[in-house]
Amino acid sequence: MSHTDIDGTTDWPTTQSGEPEPDATPWQDTIAAADHALEEATRIQRGVQHNLKLMQEVRSLREDLRKAHAEIDRYRGMHARVVVGMRQLEDDHTGVMSRFKAENEMLLVRHRVYKLMAEHYARMALRLDPQTFATHRERVLQHILFQRRKGVLPDAVSAADVAFLML
């Protein structure tokens, strides 16, 4: 800025040598503008640094989230394998239990057959011939299985009911 006189002419200050000195205010304005620009640049730099810091935090959080999702997927897979294994064990257990029940029922039927035959032989005072015993055993077993299919419990069949089979 320069100083102007009343008539509108510029009045330049003079130096000791007598030459007019340009006004100091343009340099002061330039320095003030440069200071203001430096302050703005510093503020922008702080803003950029803050943004970079936030971006690093976001990246870190995204990485943590990705790891958490990977861990969830891993546990989900483990859970699915465990559930499949448990269902397989349940199926195996059911199959084994069914087999054991069938074997147990057959053993009970055979026990009943032997008990009935022993009562019959004791009552009739017959000798135990292995060939005859095997034939009688098959006949009595078939009779008891037939009665069981009809709904009669093996314990309800008496020695008198099977005596005709062993004649």
Cβ neighbours of 113 (radius 10 Å): 23
Given a contact cutoff of 8 angstroms between Cβ atoms, the answer to whether 112 and 154 are in contact is: yes
- Chain centroid to Cα 6, Å, comes to 91
For residue 95, the model assigns a pLDDT of: 92
For residue 7, the model assigns a pLDDT of: 56
pLDDT tens per residue across all 167 residues of the chain: 444 555 555 554 554 555 545 555 778 888 988 999 999 999 999 999 999 999 999 999 999 999 999 999 999 999 999 999 999 999 999 999 999 999 999 999 889 888 888 877 777 766 667 787 788 888 888 888 888 888 888 888 887 888 877 77
Q: How far is 37 from 106, CA to CA, in rounded Å?
A: 101
Structure pTM? 0.45
